[in-house]
Amino acid sequence: MKGFGIYKSKKYLQRVLISIMLSMVIVLIALTLVNTYVLEQSVRRNQEQSNLKVLSQIQYNLSYMNEIISHLSNYVNKDNQIAAMLFDQKLPKMDWIRGYNRLQSYMDSSSFLHSIAVYNHTQNEIYATSTPFLLDGGITKAKIRSWLFDPNEPHSTSRLIPVSLEREDGQIDVFAYLVTNSLKPFSRSESAIILYIKSDWVFNSLKKMDAVSSQEGGEIYIADQDGQLFSSDLTQASAGASEKEQIKQLVEKDKRAYSKTSGFVVGSIDKQKHLISYMDDGVRNWTIIYVQSYDKLMKDVRETRIKSIVIAVVFLLIAIGISIWLSYKLYTPIERMLRRIRLQLPDKRGSGQAQPAYEGDEFHLMSDNYMRLSHKLQEISSEQIVNKYYLRKFLTDSSLFTHHDMLELIQKHGLDISVSDEIVVCVLKIDNYEMFDRNTTGTSKKMYSFAIVNIAHEIMSRSYPCEAVEVRGDHVVLIVSRGAEDEKLSFGQVVPLISEIQQTIEHYYNLSLSCGVSDPFQQFPYISTAYNQAQQLCMYKIIVGNKAIITSDQVQPNLTSKQSVIPDIIERRLTEALKKGQMSEAGSELEKAFTMLAKFQYDDMLRALSNLAWAMKNAAAEIANNRLIKLDVDLEYATRMIEEKESLEEMYITLLSLCAKICEGQRPASMERNDMILETIKELIEQKYADINLSQQSIASTVKLTSAYIGKLFKDSTGVSITEYMNDVRLRHAQQLLENDDYTVIDIMEKCGYANPSYFFRLFKGKFGSTPKEYRMKKSIS
pLDDT tens for 431-467 read 888 888 888 888 888 888 888 989 999 998 888 888 8
Closest CA to 616 of 667, 664, 655: 655
**DSSP notation for 758-771:** HHHHHHHHHHHSS-
Task: Say which residue, 723 or 75, is predicted with more confidence.
Answer: 723
What's the whole-number mean pLDDT along residues 628-646? 66
Confidence of residue 356 (pLDDT cuts 50, 70, 90): very low
In this structure, the strands spanning 549-551 and 513-517 are: parallel
Which residues have C-beta within 8 Å of that of residue 89, sequence separation ≥ 6?
Answer: 122, 123
pLDDT tens for 495-519 read 999 999 999 999 888 999 999 999 9
**DSSP notation for 121-139:** TTTTEEEE--HHHHHSTTH
What's the whole-number mean pLDDT along residues 270-288? 76
CB distance 140 to 131 below 8 Å: no
Distance, CA of 596 to CA of 605 (rounded, Å): 9
Distance, CA of 395 to CA of 535 (rounded, Å): 11
CB distance 578 to 659 below 8 Å: yes
Q: What torsion do the CA atoms of 719, 720, 725, 731 make, to the nearest 10 degrees?
A: -110
- Is 670-781 a domain of CATH 3.40.50.720? no
What integer pLDDT is reported at residue 355 of this predicted model? Answer: 43
pLDDT tens for 116-169 read 888 888 888 888 887 777 777 788 888 888 888 887 777 888 778 888 877 766
Distance, CA of 610 to CA of 604 (rounded, Å): 10
End-to-end CA distance of the chain: 85
What integer pLDDT is reported at residue 703 of this predicted model? Answer: 84
pLDDT higher than threshold 90 for residue 325: no
pLDDT higher than threshold 80 for residue 219: no
Q: Is the dihedral of CA 519, 520, 526, 528 positive or negative?
A: positive
pLDDT higher than threshold 90 for residue 299: no
pLDDT higher than threshold 50 for residue 349: no
Confidence of residue 487 (pLDDT cuts 50, 70, 90): low
Task: Output DSSP code: residue 398.
Answer: G
Q: 79-201 is classed in which CATH architecture?
A: 2-Layer Sandwich (3.30)
Confidence of residue 632 (pLDDT cuts 50, 70, 90): low
Would you say the pTM of this structure is higher than 0.75? no
pLDDT tens for 360-413 read 566 666 676 667 666 665 554 566 677 788 788 888 887 777 777 777 787 777
Distance, CA of 779 to CA of 782 (rounded, Å): 5
What integer pLDDT is reported at residue 281 of this predicted model? Answer: 74
CATH class assigned to 379-554? alpha beta
* Residue percentage of the chain with pLDDT more than 90: 8
pLDDT higher than threshold 50 for residue 31: yes
Which residues have C-beta within 8 Å of that of residue 164, sequence separation ≥ 6?
Answer: 170, 171, 172, 173, 174
